[in-house]
Amino acid sequence: MNETERSHFDILIRARLAELTALSASSQQAQAIVELDQQAVGRLSRMDALQNQAMAKAQQANRDIETRRLKAALQRLQDGEYGYCEDCGDRIPDGRLKLDLVASKCVSCASG
């Protein structure tokens, strides 16, 4: 992988990390503790609020996983290992990397 390609993927990975950070910050309120004031809201509204909170927490867990994987990809990029299969060492096609920035295996190894 040449320097231009490394730079391109570095920009893409960092942009996705920034996007995830912004999404996490904007969803903090949705993950907050749900107040169960029975005088203020009805039972269905409370159930809806609890469900929304659970969904926000699940989305945050998914963002956390993706963030860890992106940081690992950045580390592989800095180590010169990004774009090469961790199993067989073959080059991972750029098209695959553009679709999945954190891909660490070639199609053969990933499917086998």
Q: Mind listing the pLDDT tens digit for each residue in 23-41?
A: 988 887 766 666 655 555 5
Residue 42's pLDDT is 62
Residue 110 has pLDDT above 70, yes or no: yes
What residue segments make up the domains of the chain, in order of their start?
Answer: 3-111
Determine whether 73 is exposed, middle or buried from the number of CB atoms within 10 Å of its CB (0-12, 13-18, 19+).
buried
Kindly write down the DSSP assignment for every residue of the chain, as one continuous string: --HHHHHHHHHHHHHHHHHHHHHHHHTTTTTSPPP--TTTS-HHHHHHHHHHHHHHHHHHHHHHHHHHHHHHHHHHHHTT-TTB-TTT-PBPPHHHHHH-TT--S-HHHHH-
Mean pLDDT of 10-16: 97
Q: Mind listing the pLDDT tens digit for each residue in 66-95?
A: 999 999 999 999 999 999 999 999 999 999
Residue 84's pLDDT is 96
Residue 58's pLDDT is 93
Closest CA to 17 of 89, 77, 58: 77
Residue 35's pLDDT is 62
State the helix-helix crossing angle for 3-26 and 43-78, rounded to 10 degrees.
160
Structurally, at CATH architecture level, domain 3-111 sits in Up-down Bundle (1.20)
